[in-house]
A and B are shown apart, each in its own frame.
Chain A
């Protein structure tokens, strides 16, 4: 059952590639604008890199949140999902996973290439990629709660960023912090442990919270 919903969302994403590419290109362009604006000052760029890449990742994943449930809501599929005999949190988890595959994974793959523009050392590039790999699923998980709560509201797009961005702050701090720690030659295990803990907590809580929000939104 979980497989069906993931397959369906991936199939839909393939048929509407523009949606997926918007997120990725937004990320690429935002990250690339900073070196152009700041100028080729390697030391400054190296210090700024983790923060910029992470903030751009937050904003990029924000962009696609609105579409997470709204298409299903508009064509009536969401009603069928809510009335499915399969447990709703499980189906929601499937949607979150496919959202991450479609919007999170491309960012993770692109990050090391973009990091080169900031003259990050190889070890820092690896830490950056790994921190995004741990962090982007959290963005999809938490973002889904916001997307479900603002479903069907006018101006929901703005509201969802006000709701969700504050919740992204811990992920931003520890994600960017891991890369900074590694460039400073310190250990980054603690940052990764905390990111992992956030991931586990949101993996357990977010599907239930989203399922409950969807039931409220559709009433």
Chain B
């Protein structure tokens, strides 16, 4: 009951937030939060470090962008198409990647994501370095004009809540219990008769589809799909967000995404703009050395200890 109240407060805060803060910034936070949550589903709950999640973010973005630009379909169908495309790509990549463990898993996902990167760099429909520019936001259900930032914000919020709910549901289901069992002790899960690779594969697909959903939404928000989204830097950034916020906590990635996006936003306009990567790197080092369970993780520990 306590946790429900907590979510209710957050929900109310999210509803009024755009009156105080710049909506596009909030939408960016929400998109990256969803992306980080999707990534955390793999890293935090199954212990799989995918170093190629940018491929799914970018696939979602490019497919949605291309649909909006060329087919005249509405934003709902375009986002759905982007999500499904990312999920399908995840199915293929996941099938190959789950055969390996640990660092090899990370390397296989990275290599596959680089394949995707060069595909998007070279194929004519993506516009190379230019990316897909001027993607229209369209009208939701033929009623709400999304070019209005406020309408768009509530649409993004709805998508985020859906994604967050899905992840919440997944990890609290029997399926999620098995995932955690795999994380804690894989040989034991095997010995209990679970087909571990299939479980990993399914959760990989869910994660990549949600990453695709985040990418699709991001494309609509910024009206742009670009190579940044498929670059391996993005795969690294999501690791940073998740670790900073708290790996394996449901709310950690949201906080991590919020912190990282805020820092980037704040620094890019100021005098320290050139040092953005150095500062992020330092934060990462401090985080790994000093508080390994991340902001939310440390907070939970403190609450447990003192109350």
Q: Specify whether A and B are partners.
A: no
